[in-house]
Amino acid sequence: MASLVIAPVARLIEAFNRLPGIGPKTAQRLTYHLLRAPDAEARALASALVAVREEVVFCERCFNISDAPLCPICRDPGRDATRLCVVEEPLDVLAIERTSEFRGAYHVLHGAISPIDGVGPDRLRIRELLERVDAAAAAGSPLVEVILATNPTLEGEATAMYLDERLAGQVRSVTRIARGIPVGGDLEYADEVTLIRAFQGRRALAERSLP
């Protein structure tokens, strides 16, 4: 039986379906939305996709997304270059920046160590991280702190442990972001590892002296 979907539509559905988090049904809905949308909307989407491929690059220093050899963060002279936050993906940089809590530099690994998936340290930007650390030490200004902000997953934890070993003795301090119960979460739904980390990271609300 001949396919009821003509070739251009089938190709677009297949293209959407290859995107992470997009299943067959969602791919079909997106495709038929574009078919019904004004011509300008479809052309704007196509233009944006082409621009991303042609104009966006990875920063030569931290490997965050950029429109120039160095990203806006690496170009900012107001950032604290002695503190480096290591993350898995560029989206993690955006999440941390939204907090306005960290004013140092970043290093994006583009993944996490996962032997099951065949991803070893050589597949990530770990060599470049170690080179940055060595270059800072050689310049007489060793990093004060490297913050390991990989995800709280088995792969993220394995990556953090590996980096901690490789950075030992190279920087003054290697720290790991805290993990615990999220705001609005219920204890009954938290897994054991999250509860353990929450108890390990507990802190006093106030210091009081007993009479």
pLDDT (tens digit per residue) in 120-174: 999 999 999 999 999 999 998 889 999 999 998 889 999 999 999 999 888 989 9
Q: Are residues 86 and 163 in the same domain?
A: yes
Per-residue pLDDT for 92 more than 60?
Answer: yes
Q: Is residue 63 part of a domain?
A: no
112-127 average pLDDT score? 95
Q: Are residues 51 and 80 in the same domain?
A: no
Q: Are residues 84 and 30 in the same domain?
A: no
Q: Are residues 171 and 136 in the same domain?
A: yes
Task: Give pLDDT, residue 2.
Answer: 44
Residues 51, 55: Cα–Cα separation, whole Å: 5
Residues 158, 163: Cα–Cα separation, whole Å: 9
Q: Is residue 161 part of a domain?
A: yes
Q: Are residues 106 and 43 in the same domain?
A: no
Percent of the chain with pLDDT over 70: 94
Q: What b-and-e string marks burial along 147-176, b requiring 16 or more CB atoms within 10 Å of the CB?
A: bbbbbbeebbbebbebbeebbeeebeebeb
Task: Give pLDDT, residue 22.
Answer: 95
Q: Is residue 133 part of a domain?
A: yes
Percent of the chain with pLDDT over 90: 72
Task: Give pLDDT, residue 209.
Answer: 60
Q: What is the mean pLDDT of the chain?
A: 90
Q: Is the pTM of this model over 0.85?
A: no
Token pair 């909307």 is found at 41
Structure tokens at 41: 């909307």
Q: Are residues 92 and 144 in the same domain?
A: yes
Token pair 């099951």 is found at 116
Number of domains in the chain: 2
Per-residue pLDDT for 208 more than 70?
Answer: no
Q: Is residue 31 part of a domain?
A: yes
Domain CATH code at residue 159 = 3.40.1360.10
Domain of 35 in residue numbering reads as 7-55
Residues 71, 56: Cα–Cα separation, whole Å: 10
